[in-house]
Amino acid sequence: MLDELALWGGAALIGALSLYTAGHALIMKRDPRSTLGWIMVSLTVPLLGPFLYWCMGVNRISRRARTWLESGRRLAGAEHFRALHDQDAAPALPPGSEYLAQLRSLADRVTNGLLLEGNRITPLENGEAAYPAMLEAIAGARRSIHLSTYIFDGDGAGRRFIAALADAALRGVEVRVIIDGLGEKYSLPRARVLMEGTRIQAARFLPLRQGFYMNLRNHRKLLIIDGERGYTGGMNIGDRHLASRSGAEVVKDMHFAVEGPAVGELQRVFLEDWHFVTGELLDDERYFPAVAPAGTALVRAVGDGPDREFRKLQLIIMGAISCARRQVLIMTPYFIPDRALISALITTALRGVEVTLILPEKNNLPYVKWASQAYLWELLQQGIRVFYQPPPFVHTKLLVVDGLWSLIGSANLDPRSLRLNFELNLEIYDREFAGTLGRHFSEVRGRAREVTLAEMDGRPLPVKLRDGVAKLFSPYL
């Protein structure tokens, strides 16, 4: 009798858990297809279905990040700092790009950053160009050096940066470094350990001892010198970015030097993160000196992360693609689009706009390439051209629209960058800069191999199944 009661009681508890889980999915999930899928799994697969839902189907990322924002641990924007800029009125868009006014309006509404005039952005290809420029800037710093990176290797390149930072700190420069708590573990010895005994102020973004956060990583790459000069892009610090070296670990990438008033926005983003990791609020005006105009580019810094109300970068990318009239050029190492981005790309191509996508032939994360391949046939069917550039692995990220508007920075076109991590990109209105990126894109395309629909359709069945399984897990890649 007791055994029978225990059996019925256990069955009732399992049924109640399934019903509760299905109800939670019904109320909380936004996508009807996802909602229906989780309800069916919860009701038809006892115990395992609810277990999978509570492990994978609940968005704890945004909830945790917004808790930080509401508690004051993360700052909400520029209002926490002194007035950064004396720009009296919003600058006019460059001649010929007036039709992008709706894109500008979109970015105005979803970001707290200003579109600032008087900037110059200079591409720096691979560590051979970027590292000497950054090290020279560090050597010339007078007041402050602020460096943030996802990966800081303790190899030859990393040690050169540590030595330069330590020398600057010795001569009285304030040196602050943020290294991501997961990214620092990519090499031994740890760069942060090598900084011990110096005057460098080093902090980790979400150390793993505070919780096993595979997501919520700080993927931003920033270097700000005296609040007057800046560097940003997709490049970490390590020998792997020296393209002249040989070896399977070599990574090609592009970084950018930033001059002009936009440097103040890079400083703001860094200091927001510094407050998050240390609790120290540095809002003194000496960190935001007046910066003279240096060029003609209109630039807006777009700091994005799961603690924000909008998915800023995703909305801006979608808006830019939708506004395109002639050409959309995309280069990214990781391409895992959601349905909205696929629809935007296809709709733009069907409007007669030339849409070209360049991906790496060799990917350092094979399962990401597998998932990407499962999406390509749908794009190729609608006339979107896709190219694979040859090894070594290329980590460059750029988006150019109509030779007028560009997006550069740390974010990839995948869920991790657009939904789960903290990123920093620059949107740029400048014909000359977009032309420079366009020429680089054309040079790369000339060396790349075009992917055909026949190639995607001709994949062996085991490969199609492998790619399809990887696609199933694309929201978590």
Give backbone dihedrals phi and psi of 330, rounded to 5 degrees, phi first: -130, 130
Domain spanning 312-476: which CATH class is it, in words? alpha beta
* Exposure string for 277-292, b = 16+ CB within 10 A, e = fewer: beeeebeeeebbeebe
pLDDT tens digits, residue range 3-37? Answer: 666 677 777 787 887 888 778 777 766 667 567 66
CA distance 428 to 410: 15
CA distance 131 to 126: 8
Q: Is 9 exposed, middle or buried (0-12, 13-18, 19+ CB in 10 A)?
A: exposed
The single residue listed with the structure tokens 């790369």 is: 444
CA distance 134 to 236: 12
The single residue listed with the structure tokens 């990781």 is: 334
Q: Which two tokens stand for residue 117?
A: 């005039």
Q: Indicate yes or no: pTM above 0.85.
A: yes
CA distance 175 to 406: 31
Nearest in space to 290 (alpha carbons), one of 372, 245, 228, 334: 228
Q: Are 367 and 470 in contact (CB under 8 A)?
A: yes
Q: Are 270 and 264 in contact (CB under 8 A)?
A: no
CA distance 41 to 36: 9
CA distance 65 to 422: 10
Q: Where are the beta strands (DSSP E) in 237-341?
A: 251-252, 254-259, 297-304, 327-331
Q: What is the pLDDT of residue 11?
A: 72
Q: What is the pLDDT of residue 75?
A: 67
pLDDT tens digits, residue range 181-222? Answer: 888 888 889 999 999 999 999 999 988 765 455 667 899 999
Ranges in the chain, pLDDT < 70:
1-6, 28-31, 33-34, 36-38, 54-66, 68-89, 209-215, 307-310, 475-477
118-295 matches 312-476 in fold? yes
Residue 203: enclosing H or E segment and its boundaries?
A: strand 201-205
Q: What is the pLDDT of residue 342?
A: 95
Domain ranges for the chain: 2-58, 118-295, 312-476
Bridge partners, residue 203, by sequence: 178
Q: What is the pLDDT of residue 16?
A: 84
Q: How far is Cα of residue 75 from the mean position of the Cα atoms in its chain?
A: 19
Rounded to 10 deg, the angle between the 312-323 and 101-110 helix axes is: 170
Query: For domain 118-295, which CATH number applies: 3.30.300.30, 1.10.357.10, 3.30.870.10, 1.10.10.60?
Result: 3.30.870.10
* Exposure string for 93-112, b = 16+ CB within 10 A, e = fewer: bbeebeebeebbebbeebbb
Q: What is the pLDDT of residue 454?
A: 95
Q: Which two tokens stand for residue 395?
A: 């980590």
